[in-house]
Structure 1
Amino acid sequence: MLGRTALVPLRSITFLSLLIAFAVVSILVASGATNDLDSRIFNAITGSRTYSVDLMMVGITTTADIFPIYFSPLLIIAFILIVRKRSRRVGAVLMLVILVTALASLQLKNIVYRDRPDYEFRVEGLDYKVELDTIGTHSSSYPSGHASWSTAFSLVVSYMLRERRIGRMSIWMLLWLYPILISFSRVYVGAHYPMDVVGGMLLGLIVGNFMARIFKLHTSS
């Protein structure tokens, strides 16, 4: 199961369910079946903005930016782990997981092309431009790159820290709040529709789990 153990066997009903769920969501999005629901939820979220929440969402969503690479918080964390001898293997796997998830997301954007919301996010007194998690000129909305690689990141890190606690709260539980907040922030700043981030989180779970299993991260703890 996902959660405390974080990783699931590749030949399991759980992993197969993730693949099926992602395929179903992708088909529904590509067919336009989710457009009405997406628009309703998107308008409800962006229509209830406040200045203080604007600033908070900008801060949250920026932590998952990976372009430019040298200024990516997630990749910097992976690099620091690589530099440290004791965590070198985990850092290398984490770096690969983030980059492979990003590449998978970019490829799927070309396959399931979807226009982004026609929305311009502006905050008074703040010079901020929403990163669209793309390379080049195309701007496909599905799946959300930020949602996918933040989920993959949290999956790997929560697994490695699954026995650590802060008071009575397990660290892995806190770490799973991160991709949820990132996903909400992507809709809030107008970069994605809700189903874009749902697909992104599913993709992150699939790729993150696959990569961690392939590189036998579960044997290093």
Structure 2
Amino acid sequence: MVPLTIAGNLFIWLLIAAFLYIFKGKSYAVYYLSLLLIIWLAVYGMKSLFMFPRPETGRILVDAAGYSFPSSHTALAFGTATFLHPVSGKSSYLFWLFAIMMGISRITVGVHYPTDVIAGAIAGIILGYAGLLFYPAFVRKVNRFRID
């Protein structure tokens, strides 16, 4: 569980963006990274608003600073699963499994309460779905201003 929770810091998101760049193109990868930034900012805004402390006991090999609610790792994982679901075909279940495992790992290593993970999952799904809805408008804007 510890490697999974550590991978969620930055590495896994950049790796997914690199694969998207290779297989879906530059605009899709840039949009995905923009969506991750929006999710991260929204979650950190909520953390600042609610200011729930992290669990004091049970931390295993991982330390986390700042507030607990909601889980940003979980929000990013569920936002990714939601956004990539339509384009990942039969392997979309792997993104959902990864998102669920990310949430479980955050509880297991002792840096989040279950409510933090549930709220992060909900936020990620909502923002990932919003990303899906706004993607066509993004493509139209990019294509309108593209200079080849």
- TM-score bin (small chain): 0.7 to 0.9
The equivalent residue for 1:148 is: 75
Aligned counterparts, 1:54-69, within 5 A: 57-66=1-10
Counterpart among 54, 78, 87 of residue 17 in structure 2: 78
The equivalent residue for 1:167 is: none
Aligned partners of 2:23, 2:58: CA distance in 1, in Å?
Answer: 45
1:208 lines up with 2:128 in the alignment: yes
Runs of 4+ more than 6 Å apart: none
Task: Name structure 1 gaps, 5 residues minimum.
Answer: 1-56, 67-71, 123-127, 163-169
1:179 lines up with 2:106 in the alignment: no
Task: Name structure 2 gaps, 5 residues minimum.
Answer: 140-148
Q: 1:120 Cα shift?
A: 4.9
The percentage of aligned residue pairs carrying the same residue is 25
Aligned partners of 2:92, 2:15: CA distance in 1, in Å?
Answer: 20
Secondary structure at the aligned position of 1:160 is classed as: coil
Structure 1, 101-110 or 150-159: larger mean CA deviation: 150-159
Aligned counterparts, 1:51-130, within 5 A: 57-66=1-10, 72-82=11-21, 84=22, 86-122=24-60, 128-130=61-63
Q: Taking structure 2 as the reference length, what is the TM-score of the superposition?
A: 0.83
The Cα RMSD (Å) is 2.2
Q: CA separation of 1:158/1:188 partners in 2, compared to 1, >3 Å: closer, same or farther?
A: same
Q: Taking structure 1 as the reference length, what is the TM-score of the superposition?
A: 0.57
The equivalent residue for 1:193 is: 113
Residues 108-136 of structure 1: CA deviation (Å, up to 9, x unaligned): 001111011002524xxxxx433x3x6xx
Secondary structure at the aligned position of 2:85 is classed as: helix
Q: Kindly provide the amino acid, as one letter, of the partner of residue 37 in structure 2.
A: L
Q: Kindly provide the amino acid, as one letter, of the partner of residue 15 in structure 2.
A: I
Aligned partners of 1:100, 1:92: CA distance in 2, in Å?
Answer: 12
Aligned partners of 2:79, 2:101: CA distance in 1, in Å?
Answer: 14
Q: CA separation of 1:151/1:89 partners in 2, compared to 1, >3 Å: closer, same or farther?
A: same
